[in-house]
Structure 1
């Protein structure tokens, strides 16, 4: 491997706000780096320093000659009215000009994006998730030396997140990615950097995935806490010596006085860092209802015009149930929550609530917040105290638990960040006694410490939890059952996400085989324009390559389930990697087939 960039002792702050100092790291070709940290800690700033759009106040940034970085911001914007085909064509042409001799790589990423040069659809018609996928595809088509991604999984559904993961895992692309998606970091990252005031210099680096990083972080923070105790004991001895008013006339005495002051400064700095890591437990308040059945859905169905969202769905939500509703964007997850809470009605079937059911609903758009009001007007309009479990807590103390500064208490909610708005809504909702909590994309805009605080809170809740989330780590940590909507009216309940993924994969294989047979008929009947010898030869032989790749994928799927393979972890992991590569090859071949046939139309 060769270094593409070195950051040497860089420091950055904004006004009086310190972000990080003494940060040194090298980026080698093929590195896969995840960046995490609390909201506002400087993660995006670090990406901009790497990209060259911002300059550190101290330190050096050394780059190899002609290094190309591509920075994809959190919410990419396309010019209104543009057609997808024009966006893809422009990206391909621009990359071809800069990357001579790499047309195959460029068109590979174009195919993997799921879009093509013949798509007449306007970008304005795309969902937020599909716009993000298009932007990611264009970024990868540019073949940068370092790809810089700021919250790339935002707006993507589970399929989109795993699509991005597979590309990043199986390519040699170098990337640095800011994200709060811990499952993504476990699967795709090989090094984790956290920017946070709990560390010396406000940063901590570990080579490994997120779970490895978490273990290293825990060990470091435990040692730092023990260090405080050691420093406090040492400081007591020095204070005792200083209290005897030693004369500082001798060099030895002056040196000890100076050392004591340095020790005091070191102790104070360590205490400040430890306090920055303090997150108290927040408890959702249950009603202590004895009834087990809370909501019953009997044979409910819902459609929008021609599109079936779900059909003949029956489910009983009971006390202490933990459900996650998952599915693609547009599959009807939020619609189902609206029906279960009786905000909307099913086309068919019946919804029954137990008498006097108490519901708390954390919606993804934070619509329950009056954003024209201030946090104080929302939480404590008549006084300075927030009522929690029938007792008053000063509003500053209450909001501090949720990471809201006292200076923000009288600011309009609309002026605060998305993460801050989410935490204010949480601060309001946890005060309300309830039987069931509905969480609709609760991790959007939240940093990892706040997500972990939310996980701990719902785990202790003595009631029912129903969540809609694309955060697989969150879903796995709080859920025991998964209600999966497939977007075509069908649905299923599973105890493990892998069960659902296996069914989806089998359905995908069936669709590919159906597509293969239907495309064969079309190919035999449809008159085509004359292609070049090279393209025609490739088109004539591509079907046999697809059949061969699909056959190999089927063999590997059988091999994975063999007992002797499962027992041998090394062999099992190798087979899984080969299967992933094989399935990716099949998808690439189908994309290439579509492209070649479009040339002949």
Structure 2
């Protein structure tokens, strides 16, 4: 296949912090590549560099002549005064098309991406529809190569499945950055991971995400064995140098030089493989064995002119893990708030066990005070945190959630989305719970953090209710799901896929 885009020796740093060094790879026609990496690794920066929207520090970026490349940014903000079709039409400026050809293409691509009102003001679109418009705008270009940065953000599960099918049927190649593992499995035939643990800062392997995990495990095992071997050689050479310090023959000088080279090699390996850690999430259950923690009967809720749901019966017992599914706007968060007690149902009853202890993770992490420091948010009183009958110093507690000591005096509002999510979970972990309510807890979390969250929710001994668009997490932890259809109807399902089969 013809190479469309090539980067050689690409290096980028922010201040003294390197993102990647000497990154070299190609993207060829019709390749379908998934881009992954921990938060802060530089995935968005790399995509912007590839799209020509950000400068590289050194190296080269080469795009084959006449190649059309599109770029779907993580978040699109559209100016006021422009309609949906205006946004797409502007993307075609400079294209060698007759006016009627442009209008035909605009109509075709907007219809394909789900729009029926082409004159709707673009700035009034919801997050999910803004994402669809960003995709439509770039598809109108009929690109040879499309770069997508977290394209599932703001999309509901049906929207994610729609995008998965759209990309699979597309005639162009693409590089897509995502933390959604189910989506990744559905769209990628190769995986490229940006991570300092690899020589050159990246690792690329053919096959889907599961095959990539197998390749990566083999590679990292081999690298660990090599590091152990180099460490043994350095130890032996150091001992020899200690005994032969006085020797200055040519042979000895050569061995001294080799020892220095080996020490440098070991230092580089140790830097790359230093464990960046994973967040120490572990929600504390109370151990309560009450058979019914919560019983909801016939609950209903409407907004003016629209019924969200009605006649829903739910019983929550220790070990029940209930997922709430539905398209955007169907009332998932409202149902969660009715169960948590934040909203009252229009009809029906919600009965709680006496002394029920509830802990809530709010969508958008609205409980966080953005005007206090991280130290104050983690530990409001003094320097010690009470957790599982132990006293933990705030510095150790911060490190458990991957915060650096120097971040303790940073305002919460200056933290990244992923850091704010970890902070909110750190606060929740200090509150033993019978029942957890989690509204979109996976937003802004990278794959390692998602895997830790799955583990702790799977092990949680109480009950939980969760709203999420992460199919893999829901499939792994939920014992049952309620699907809302967006028209006031609802039903109980065993799995996410069972609901999707009915919904579609």
TM-score (norm 2): 0.94
Residues 1:98 and 1:496: Cα distance change in structure 2 (over 3 Å): farther
The equivalences for 1:390-469 within 5 A come to 390-469=389-468
Structure with bigger gyration radius: 1
CA contact (8 A) 1:94 1:142 kept: no
**Structure 1 match to 2:351:** 352
Contact 1:95–1:141, Cα closer than 8 Å, also in 2:
no
Partner Cα distance (2:26, 2:100) in 1: 28
* The 10-residue stretch of structure 1 (224-233 or 332-341) with the greater mean CA deviation from structure 2: 224-233
Shift of residue 207 of structure 1? 1.4
Q: Deviations over 1:73-129 (max 9, x none)?
A: 21101112433343345456765639998987665423202225x634333432211
Please state whether the residue corresponding to 1:205 is helix, strand or coil. Answer: strand
Distance 1:92 1:271, change over 3 A: closer
Q: Deviation of residue 66 (structure 1)?
A: 3.1
Change (3 A) 1:196 1:500: same
- Give the equivalent residue in structure 2 for 1:57: 57
**Residue pairs, 1:309-324, within 5 angstroms:** 309-324=308-323
* Alignment check: 8 A CA contact 2:194 2:202 kept: yes
Structure 1: stretches of 5+ with no match in the other structure = 506-601
SS at 2:168's partner residue?
helix
State how far apart, in whole Å, the 2-side matches of 1:459 and 1:172 are: 40
Aligned match of 1:491: 490
C-alpha deviation, 1:277, in angstroms: 4.3
Alpha carbons of structure 1 residues 490 and 219: separation in structure 2 relative to 1, 3 Å: same
- 1:300 is matched with which residue? 299
Name whichever of 80-89 and 241-250 sits farther off. Answer: 80-89
Contact 2:106 2:140 in 1 (8 A): yes
Say which SS state the counterpart of residue 240 (structure 1) adopts: helix
Matched residue, 2:67: 67
Moved >4 Å (runs of 4+): 88-96, 98-107
- Stretch deviating more after TM superposition (93-102 or 350-359): 93-102
Which residue matches 1:559?
A: none
Q: 2:4 maps to what in 1? A: 4
Q: Is the 8 A contact 1:281 1:457 kept in 2?
A: no
Instruction: Verify the 8 A CA contact 2:294 2:316 in the aligned structure 1.
Output: yes
Find the counterpart in structure 1 of residue 176 from structure 2.
177
Q: How does 1:572-583 map to 2 (within 5 A)?
A: none
Counterpart Cα distance in 2 of 1:229 and 1:483: 51
SS of the residue 2:365 aligns to: coil
Unaligned runs of 5+ in 2: none
Q: How many residues align?
A: 504
Q: Which has the higher contact order (CA 8 A, sep 6+)?
A: 2
Moved more, 72-81 or 119-128: 119-128
Map 1:74-223 to 2 at 5 A: 74-91=74-91, 97=97, 107-115=107-115, 119-223=118-222
DSSP 3-state at the match of 1:168: helix
**How far apart, in 2, do the equivalents of 1:170 and 1:67 lie?**
20
DSSP 3-state at the match of 2:240? helix
SS state of the match for residue 450, structure 1?
helix
CA distance in 2, matches of 1:254, 1:354: 78
Give the conservation status (yes or no) of the 8 Å contact 1:85–1:120. yes
Q: Distance in 1 between matches of 2:433 and 2:283?
A: 8
Tell me if structure 1 keeps the 8 A contact 2:277–2:402. Answer: no
Is 1:28 the counterpart of 2:8? The answer is no
Q: TM-score, normalised by structure 1?
A: 0.80
Label 1:189 to 1:95 Cα distance change in 2 as closer, same or farther (>3 A).
farther
Rounded to whole Å, the distance in 2 between the matches of 1:114 and 1:384 is 53
What is the Cα-based RMSD across aligned positions, in Å? Answer: 2.2
Q: Within 5 A, what are the aligned runs for 1:513-532?
A: none
Partners of 1:500 and 1:428 lie apart in 2 by 33
Q: Distance in 2 between matches of 1:163 and 1:370?
A: 37
Equivalent position SS for 1:312:
strand
Q: What SS does structure 2 have at the residue aligned with 1:339?
A: helix
**Distance of 1:93 and 1:236 partners within structure 2:** 65
Question: Corresponding residue for 2:501?
Answer: 502
1:197–1:276: 8 Å Cα contact kept in structure 2? no
Offset at 1:384? 2.5
- The alignment partner of 2:30 has SS state of coil
Mapping for residues 538-557 of structure 1, pairs under 5 Å: none
Tell me by how many angstroms 1:154 deviates.
0.5
